[in-house]
A and B are shown apart, each in its own frame.
Chain A
Amino acid sequence: AQTVTQSQPEMSVQEAETVTLSCTYDTSENNYYLFWYKQPPSRQMILVIRQEAYKQQNATENRFSVNFQKAAKSFSLKISDSQLGDTAMYFCAFRAGAQKLVFGQGTRLTINP
């Protein structure tokens, strides 16, 4: 069974700083997708970024980028120039084939003014 671990329950940084959220996973699959979802207090689960396991190049979406280390089974999210609107719960998630999406326990990120 696949598992996803987020070791940082809470993080807090100042506005404009860079912050990195950690995620590790365990799987015996070779083809899979990894995701970071953001859930602000408004509660909508928003896709931030996704990474295909077969791609060596790290995914990037504007201020959000990932560091995908397949051998280490690590998938961290870097947020550059953090903004107040980045305050949210961040969930790392894994999916392989037709299996269900497996979520980590989440990291609550607070951006302070």
Chain B
Amino acid sequence: DTEVTQTPKHLVMGMTNKKSLKCEQHMGHRAMYWYKQKAKKPPELMFVYSYEKLSINESVPSRFSPECPNSSLLNLHLHALQPEDSALYLCASSPQTGVLDTDTQYFGPGTRLTVL
């Protein structure tokens, strides 16, 4: 089973709202990722969690706040977003095996976010 689930599928929020995106995997993967994808563009990496610790933050604005409560769950808390933050937000996970960590990322279906 290579399933990563994400909720909600769609989210519309105002610039003053606080909302959260949720990602879950039950494959025993130890690395989890958040990506942002604009239309017709490749995904852009935002954050990486490795063994539940934040290992990469790609200089993402503080209005995006990731959280990894346990090895299966990854949240992205949103606050005071801008209209240009409207995008598809993808979650991914990978086994993270060995030193090289050249393993495969499996993606969830994404959350389509619209900021009004």
A: which residues have CB within 8 A of B?
31-33, 35, 37, 42-47, 50, 52, 89, 91, 95-98, 100-101, 103-106, 108
In the complex with contacts A45-B90, A103-B42, A105-B42, A98-B109 CB distance below 8 A: no
**Across the interface, do A44 and B42 meet the contact criterion of CB distance under 8 Å?**
no
| A residues less than 8 Å from B88 (CB atoms) | 43
Q: Whole-angstrom distance from the CB of A83 to the nearest CB of chain B?
A: 21
In the complex with contacts A105-B41, A106-B42, A47-B106 CB distance below 8 A: yes
Q: How far apart sit A79 and B60, CA to CA, in the bound complex (Å)?
A: 37
5 additional contacts (CB under 8 A) given A45-B43, A47-B2, A50-B104: A32-B102, A35-B104, A45-B90, A46-B107, A47-B107
| B residues less than 8 Å from A45 (CB atoms) | 43, 90, 92, 107, 110
| A residues less than 8 Å from B110 (CB atoms) | 43-45
**Across the interface, do A103 and B104 meet the contact criterion of CB distance under 8 Å?**
no
Q: Can you show 8 pairs from A to B with CB atoms below 8 A apart?
A: A44-B108, A44-B109, A45-B90, A46-B107, A52-B102, A89-B40, A97-B100, A106-B42
Q: How far apart sit A97 and B99, CA to CA, in the bound complex (Å)?
A: 8
B contacts with A, residue count (CB < 8 A): 24
Q: Whole-angstrom distance from the CB of A29 to the nearest CB of chain B?
A: 10
**Across the interface, do A43 and B104 meet the contact criterion of CB distance under 8 Å?**
no
Interface residues of B in 31-83 (CB under 8 A from A): 40-43, 45, 48, 56, 58
**Across the interface, do A31 and B109 meet the contact criterion of CB distance under 8 Å?**
no
Q: How far apart sit A101 and B93, CA to CA, in the bound complex (Å)?
A: 12
Chain B 16-29 near chain A by CB (<8 Å), digits 1 or 0: 00000000000000
Q: How far apart sit A44 and B41, CA to CA, in the bound complex (Å)?
A: 14
**Across the interface, do A104 and B42 meet the contact criterion of CB distance under 8 Å?**
yes
| A residues less than 8 Å from B58 (CB atoms) | 100
Closest 8 CB pairs of A and B: A103-B42, A45-B107, A44-B109, A98-B101, A33-B102, A100-B45, A43-B110, A97-B100
Residue of A with least CB distance to B102: A33
- Asked if B114 is at the interface (CB within 8 A of a chain A CB), the reply is no
Chain A CB within 10 Å, residue with most, of B48, B88, B100: B100
